[in-house]
Amino acid sequence: MKNRTALLNCLSPFLLLFALLANASDNPPQAAIATAHPLATQAGQEILNSGGNAFDAAVAVTAVLGVVEPYGSGLGGGGFWLLHRNADNFQVMVDGREKAPMAARRDMYLDDKGEVIPGASIDGPLAAGIPGVPAAMVHIAKKYGRLSLAKNLAPAIRLARDGFKVDKQYRRYAEMRLKTLQRFPETAKLFLHDNTVPPLGYRLKQEDLANTLESIAQHGESDFYRGALAKRLVDAVKKAGGIWSLDDLKNYRIVEREPVRTEYRGMKLISAALPSSGGITLASMLQMLQQYDLHKMSDTDRAHLIIEIMRRAYRDRAEYLGDSDFVDVPVARLTSTAYAKELVKGIQMDDAMPSAELRPVGKPGGAGTDTTHFSILDKEGNRVAATLSVNYLFGSCFVVPGTGFLLNDEMDDFSAKPGVANAYGLIGAEANAIEPGKRPLSSMSPTFLEDKRGIAIIGTPGGSRIISMVLLAALQYAEGADATSIVQLPRFHHQYMPDIVMFEDDAFSEKVEQDLALRGHVLKKQMSPYGGGFGHYGNMQGIVWDKHKNKVTAASDTRGIGAAVVFKQ
């Protein structure tokens, strides 16, 4: 024993050096941030440069995105933050998803005849779930951050108070939602100018929002969920036809959940757990793809196969997936190799299988650049991938006077009626029916990829198409791609119903397009929602740390207006 201690003592300087070296090689040469808005990227960098870690930066970026992209996320919304702490390889998903109020009922969006009332789950406070963003920010800062909450919220407070310049993205989205924004006077006052879309460069100041953020900086979540602000929210929501109660706010809790993990040809994928459908659907698709060798395939065969596996995984999503706190979801089975082998049996390489021929369980949605995602890597190798949302553009378009933030319309992510499509054309069944206190099923899929080469941090908005975008990105990473080629990759998508392949203009060569049509696929080019021809969808923010090359790359999708930085922290 004595000898052993002596031996350890004399070895300890070497052991320490070894540990330091091992650790050093596990630290990236640079830090990186990619977000959907240059001001959010800047705020994240400011926090990392003033001693914060990736988790502090995530809080700062979350808050700033809510200020500068009010159409995409904010205090009135929710999200999923996937965290990786490098020192002990700890990974967790912070679930700040909205919850249905306790007065919610499964048929609350149906009329007397049992038909879905158009817009009822999208516009106005009846569409809003109980927000999770304030609670999640406080939790992440307290438990994982190094700086104070006030320090992390400072950039957002500053931008809300001093204002930011309205950009083309803001104008586009405000234009698309103009009628509903005009319907609510407080909303029109804050987010429009002279009751119309503010001009480019107009400085949008948000004094009320600055005050709300200030209150969170000083008192944490208490005022929002239990104090005067809670009372103000509930009173105004009720007055305008909503169903929130003080108890709903008081009882809201974020949940730390184990991420979904799967492995594809030596690459680990770590992604969002229920109530996001992302991780499970991705795992199911990768398990199916693993039964084939994509490298040995022609371009047409490869695209055909990926479409067929998307069809099958999205069908299971519709049938089985919902909030696991409420329904039993056979996660292990759905993500198992054995089940994947069963599913691929029906795939014919020369023929598309109509979705209607799968065991039974709509229409496509908007541009898919609202909602938001950001990716962060700090100098210690800590990572955050977060996808946040108020759901549809500008959420429910409803602002409680004096608070400064829009309430979400995440209730539309529930299945209002079995088989009837939501805003993203998604259908659902019993598992995703509305229940009091339940979280609506999401597609948001913040994801880490890990293999021998290194790691990637990815995610995107885009409603139902988030999951297929992340799948294509993961396959691209597996080919050795850097961040730019991952986020710029042309996209295609199939979600079981409607039975069509949506694709970006440059996703397929002319020959592949013809061949796919010959095999029976119905192909539909994504059209620009703004007119003027073909369109794009998604707004991916990606970081790749290539350990072989000792190089970090970061990229913000050029389909959006975001910014990525790689810098010495």
Residues with active-site annotation: 371
Of positions 124, 279, 454, 463, contacts ligand DON by CB under 6 A? 463
Using the minimum distance from each CB to ligand DON, give the nearer residue, 86 or 276. Answer: 276
Determine, following the binding rule CB under 6 A, whether residue 123 of this chain makes contact with ligand DON.
no
In the window 488-527, what residues touch ligand DON (CB under 6 A)? none
Decide: helix, strand or coil at residue 498. coil
In this complex, which beta carbon is closest to ligand DON, that of residue 86 or of residue 447?
447
Q: How far is the CB of 481 from ligand DON (least distance, A)?
A: 23
For residue 366, the minimal CB distance to ligand DON (Å) is 6
**CB of 200 vs ligand DON, minimal distance in Å:** 23
For ligand DON, give the closer residue by CB, 382 or 408: 408
Buried b (16+ CB within 10 A) or exposed e, 90-106: ebbbbbbbbbbbeebeb
Asked if 541 interacts with ligand DON (CB under 6 A), we say no
Place of tokens 């599913």: 343
Whether 300 contacts 309, CB under 8 Å: no
Taking each helix axis as running N to C, give the angle between helix 149-162 and helix 207-219, from 0 to 180 degrees, rounded to the nearest 10: 170
Binding footprint of ligand DON, residue count (CB under 6 A): 15
CB of 526 to ligand DON, least distance (A): 12
CB nearer to ligand DON: give 391 or 396.
391
State yes or no: residue 370 binds ligand DON (CB under 6 A). yes
For position 444 contacting ligand DON by CB under 6 A, the verdict is yes
Residue 381 or 459 with smaller CB distance to ligand DON: 459
> Is residue 371 a contact point for ligand DON (CB under 6 A)?
yes
**Residue with Cβ nearer ligand DON (53 or 526):** 526
Query: Measured between alpha carbons, how far is 203 from 68 in angstroms, rounded to an integer?
Result: 11
The one among 73, 443, 476, 495 contacting ligand DON by CB under 6 A: 443
Query: How many Cα neighbours within 13 Å face the side chain of 561?
Result: 17
Kindly tell me which residue out of 180, 391, 432, 468 binds ligand DON, with binding defined by CB under 6 A: 391
Does 368 contact ligand DON by CB under 6 A?
yes
CA distances in angstroms from 70 to 164, 303, 394, 415, listed in the order given = 12, 36, 6, 25
Answer for which of 215, 389, 396, 403 binds ligand DON (CB under 6 A) is: 389
Determine the straight-line distance between the first and last CA of the chain, rounded to whole angstroms: 44
In whole angstroms, give the CA distance from residue 306 to residue 373: 24
Choose between 432 and 443: whose C-beta lies nearer to ligand DON: 443
Would you say 71 or 144 has its CB closer to ligand DON? Answer: 71
Contact 393, 176 (CB under 8 A): yes
Q: Which range touches ligand DON (CB under 6 A), out of 34-42, 218-226, 251-259, 459-467? A: 459-467
Q: Does 442 bind ligand DON (CB under 6 A)?
A: yes
| Those residues with Cβ within 8 angstroms of residue 119's Cβ, 6 or more apart along the chain or in another chain | none
Q: Is 368 exposed, middle or buried (0-12, 13-18, 19+ CB in 10 A)?
A: buried
Query: Does 535 interact with ligand DON (rule: CB under 6 A)?
Result: no
Residue 145 near residue 380, CB atoms below 8 Å: no
Site residues for ligand DON, window 124-143 (CB under 6 A)?
none
The full DSSP string for 402-458 is TT--EEP-GGGGSBSSTT---TTS----GGGB--TTPPPPB----EEEE-SSEEEEE
| Least gap, CB of 467 to ligand DON (angstroms) | 9
Q: Which helix (H) or strand (E) holds 41?
A: helix 38-49
Using rule CB under 6 A, residue 432 touches ligand DON:
no
The reply to whether 428 sits near ligand DON by the rule CB under 6 A is: no
3-state helix, strand and coil shares in percent for the chain, rounded to the nearest 5:
40, 20, 45
The yes or no reply on residue 462 touching ligand DON (CB under 6 A) is: yes
Contact flag: residue 284 with ligand DON (CB under 6 A)? no
Between CA 382 and CA 364 the distance in angstroms is 37
Q: Is 560 in the site for ligand DON (CB under 6 A)?
A: no
Coil, helix or strand for 544?
strand
Tokens matching residue 358? 């799968």
CB of 293 to ligand DON, least distance (A): 32
Q: Which of 169, 171, 192, 170 is nearest to 182 (CA)?
A: 192
Q: By CB under 6 A, name the binding residues for ligand DON.
A: 366, 368, 370-371, 389, 391, 410, 413, 442-444, 461-463, 466
